[in-house]
Structure 1
Amino acid sequence: MSRIPRIVILGAGYGGIVTAIRLQKELNYNEADVTLVNKHDYHYITTHLHMPAAGTDNPENARVNILRLIDEFKIDFVKSTVTQIRPQEKKVLLEEGALSYDYLVVGLGGEPETFGIPGMKEYALSIRSINSVRFIREHIEYQFARFKREPNRKDYLTFIVGGAGFTGIEFVGELADRIPPLCKEFDVDPSLVKIYNIEAAPTALPGFDPELVEYAMNVLRNKGVTFRISTAIKECTPDGVILATGEQLKAATVVWTGGVRGNHMLDEAGFETMRGRIKVDAKLRAPGYDNVYVLGDCSIVMNPEGRPYPPTAQISMQQAGVCAHNLVASIRGERLKDFEYKSKGTVASLGRGEAIGIVGTRKIKGSVAAVMKKVIDVRYLYTIGGLPLVLRKGRF
């Protein structure tokens, strides 16, 4: 009697959780032994984190218990932290024990890419997880309390967001909405609060439609955001940032959203990487390892023009569908499928009631785009948890 193949999925982000859900639907009982490893017992919705980070929503709304999403008769869940991947041995080391595999799915998520900017890793905050956004939220509120005790410290009320990509823009939109209630709560003059969004590229939201970018910047300027475009941060210090121009901006809060690299364990495992990410083949496998699939922030997928697609939730979910298909096909000796990304549109929120987006070839903005953003969120909830999850979480 042949041994049942073992599939190990590392990480319960978009790629990992959707792969697990698809496998439990497509695999028959006893066709494979599937294990999902994650350091938390919940899946968090990364595209929603900018709201609890700013304090405009509860962090609980951005997370879902993993055991509510998987069938424990088909998927074994292990709550543990991965410490090492050993592809030559087909083994993964955890904080407690180890797992052997026949097929590995790496969806460990990314890490902040600071591009070597001195002090950025040490002094800037980043929107990475439920715990990190709780810290940012409480840190922001604490600055208002500090200012009431030291009213000469205007830097307590200065907030710098490095990076004007999707995360940076969505966060400053929520932060700008959060400031008026905080000013009222702490009896602070709103004119004393400064929000800077600093971007080294020549435009905010690089690669997005210029007309919509201009609309977004105008909305955010009207909310009190000051943009410093085509301006690189040279150094981050305990007192703020130093720009490439030599100018110093003093601030007690710096939030870095300027880039993502792959997980450090991929380099350590000996995979061929670029900024910690693996350029996968057409089947989403790591070069040289037909049994290792790599998804999301850990992977690089090239577009038809030969440039890498930006790592987004949408691409991770599509990768998960192809990955699950290929795992089942491998086990059954069937033909594997090539990954082909099909964009269903992109929407960026700008705070309460405002957003911009492209759906198909149509540009949308304002309240229409904001409603579309909610539709996208609800659709994802339905994908992973069906109607019950939509009814529980669909309010965001």
Structure 2
Amino acid sequence: MNSKKPRIVVLGAGYAGMMTTKRLCQNLAPEEAEIVLVNKHNYHYQTTWLHEVAAGTINPNQVRIMISDVINPNRVRLIYDTVAKVNKEDQVVELENSELSYDYLVISLGFETNTFGIKGMEDHAFFINDIDTCREIYSHIEYQFAKYNTQENPDDDSLAILVGGGGFTGIEFVGELVEKVPELCKKYDVDRSKVRIINVEAAPSIMPGFDKDLVAYAKDSLQSRGVEFMENAKIQECTEDGFVVGDDHEKVKAGTVVWTGGVKGSSILTESGFELTKGKVTVDGDLRAPGEENIFILGDCAWVMNKEEGRPYPPTAQSAMQHADTCAANLRALLHNEPLESFVFDDKGTVASLGVTDGMGTVFSGTKLYGKSAATMKKVVDNRYLFLLGGPKLVLRKGKFRPF
């Protein structure tokens, strides 16, 4: 391999990392640059489907996509290793098992859970982080049901599922739980009325930032299927058997406690000396790290500012995929000494699922969708990503076609 070729190293095979790599392969001829993709696992997974794995409504294998199935290993060097640190001075990435020099670097290492320092949360709650943590959550939930009827004096609280955080992930997760709980009740002969699904949100309303009509719809839909909401309820502490909530320190007991209340960028950013704001790097308009000519930061690691509104764009999968397009175009521009473009977000709308057949959200220029049409649109969005990543074959293999 010609060592004089500039080397572009992409760290992390999430939405941003995979799509950047894909776009670089399309935008650059093999002789223009060497492309290297580094990821901890030999698979990519759909982060936006993890709540379904955690609720047991989807098989973990459907969420997992082998990287070499969609990224050609003859075109891209694939390294499966854990990133320890970026040494910006020497332009070297320190991996657990080796080192890797770079000419251009793309940091798209995804998120870590942010507990905001809530006492006991790290020790006692489950997190929706990756496939393994989500399998663990579902196994634990099922175990609570399995053991309930084998005990002489079973504790009804052990069947309760407590979800901290009423944002996107928390609400989609309870939406899946209302689908799964009746199945578990049937399987283990448990009375459905004994199972509580409780969502706790510190803000005055669940889904902060969402349209009020959509939030009202989501709340009504989930409450009608048995979800309890505690809003304006700050979690003071997480204990082995639940949350301590609010100024009056009310104890909410549960056999399963899941925290979905916040994320921050990878801790590698801190290790590598980047300046962070609330756990992420505020990048320049062209998606480069401030003061860095050859380092781009994308996805959940970055705050990308919406200049008109003076605040960052929401860190969604849709944003991450669009970051990839701009980043790949700008890397090509750097190689050819051309001007770089600024990131412009094209809002295609946001849809939240509330279970298999229900959902709510907006599409295109703010058109509101409810119910089955929203649930259908959610599947279309999911399948579109698969199509962009791996074409029709991947859609047929991993796509969502569950009938209503």
Asked if 1:141 corresponds to 2:146, the answer is: no
Q: Which amino acid aligns with 1:251?
A: A
* Aligned-partner SS, 1:319: helix
1:388 to 386, 393, 403: 393
1:345 to 334, 341, 349: 349
Q: 1-side partners of 2:122 and 2:375: how far apart?
A: 33
Pair 326,156 (structure 1): closer, same or farther in 2 beyond 3 Å: same
Structure-to-structure mapping, 1:83-122, within 5 angstroms: 83-122=84-123
User: CA deviation digits over 1:174-211, x for unaligned, max 9?
Assistant: 01110001001000011110010000011111111100
Choose 384-393 or 268-277, whichever is displaced more.
Answer: 268-277
Q: 2-side partners of 1:395 and 1:338: how far apart?
A: 34
2:250 to 247, 251, 271: 247
Unpaired runs of 5+ residues, structure 2, are none
Is this contact kept in 1: 2:285–2:305, CA < 8 A? no
Is this contact kept in 1: 2:382–2:400, CA < 8 A? no
Q: 1-side partners of 2:65 and 2:295: how far apart?
A: 27
Equivalent position of 2:48 in the other structure: 47
1:332 to 328, 332, 336: 336
Asked if 1:73 corresponds to 2:74, the answer is: yes
* Aligned-partner SS, 1:149: coil
Equivalent position of 2:382 in the other structure: 377
Q: 2-side partners of 1:71 and 1:26: how far apart?
A: 15
User: CA deviation digits over 1:93-117, x for unaligned, max 9?
Assistant: 1111010001110000111111110
- How big is the shift at 1:149? 2.5
- How big is the shift at 1:2? 8.7
Number of residue pairs matched by the alignment: 396
Q: 2-side partners of 1:61 and 1:266: how far apart?
A: 30
Choose 178-187 or 301-310, whichever is displaced more.
Answer: 301-310
Equivalent position of 1:221 in the other structure: 223
* Aligned-partner SS, 1:25: helix
User: CA deviation digits over 1:217-273, x for unaligned, max 9?
Assistant: 011001110000111110001111100231001112111110111111111111111
Q: 1-side partners of 2:225 and 2:39: how far apart?
A: 38
Asked if 1:273 corresponds to 2:270, the answer is: no
Q: 2-side partners of 1:302 and 1:124: how far apart?
A: 32
Q: Which amino acid aligns with 1:176?
A: V
Equivalent position of 1:183 in the other structure: 185
- How big is the shift at 1:137? 1.0
Q: TM-score, normalised by structure 2?
A: 0.96
Q: 2-side partners of 1:285 and 1:111: how far apart?
A: 21
Choose 170-179 or 241-250, whichever is displaced more.
Answer: 241-250
Identity within the alignment, %: 52
Q: 1-side partners of 2:144 and 2:90: how far apart?
A: 50
Q: 2-side partners of 1:139 and 1:201: how far apart?
A: 28
Q: 1-side partners of 2:37 and 2:183: how far apart?
A: 41
Q: 2-side partners of 1:335 and 1:42: how far apart?
A: 34
Q: 1-side partners of 2:326 and 2:39: how far apart?
A: 21
User: CA deviation digits over 1:7-49, x for unaligned, max 9?
Assistant: 1100000000000000011110121011000001111001111
- How big is the shift at 1:306? 0.9
Equivalent position of 1:128 in the other structure: 129
* Aligned-partner SS, 1:84: strand
* Aligned-partner SS, 2:86: strand
Asked if 1:364 corresponds to 2:369, the answer is: yes
Pair 238,2 (structure 1): closer, same or farther in 2 beyond 3 Å: closer
Is this contact kept in 2: 1:146–1:156, CA < 8 A? no
Q: 1-side partners of 2:149 and 2:165: how far apart?
A: 29
Asked if 1:258 corresponds to 2:261, the answer is: yes
Structure-to-structure mapping, 1:14-25, within 5 angstroms: 14-25=15-26
Q: 2-side partners of 1:127 and 1:59: how far apart?
A: 13
Q: Which amino acid aligns with 1:215?
A: Y
Q: 1-side partners of 2:104 and 2:381: how far apart?
A: 31
Q: 1-side partners of 2:193 and 2:378: how far apart?
A: 31
User: CA deviation digits over 1:110-157, x for unaligned, max 9?
Assistant: 111111100111111111111111111111101111212334312210
Q: Cα RMSD (Å) of the superposition?
A: 1.1
Equivalent position of 1:209 in the other structure: 211
Q: 1-side partners of 2:74 and 2:28: how far apart?
A: 12
User: CA deviation digits over 1:308-357, x for unaligned, max 9?
Assistant: 22211000000000000001111111121100111101000000200001
Pair 145,101 (structure 1): closer, same or farther in 2 beyond 3 Å: same
Is this contact kept in 2: 1:284–1:339, CA < 8 A? yes
User: CA deviation digits over 1:345-376, x for unaligned, max 9?
Assistant: 10000002000010122111000101100110
Is this contact kept in 2: 1:53–1:133, CA < 8 A? yes
Q: 1-side partners of 2:150 and 2:189: how far apart?
A: 12
Is this contact kept in 2: 1:12–1:107, CA < 8 A? yes
Asked if 1:27 corresponds to 2:28, the answer is: yes
Is this contact kept in 1: 2:103–2:294, CA < 8 A? yes
- How big is the shift at 1:73? 2.2
Equivalent position of 2:232 in the other structure: 230
* Aligned-partner SS, 2:252: strand
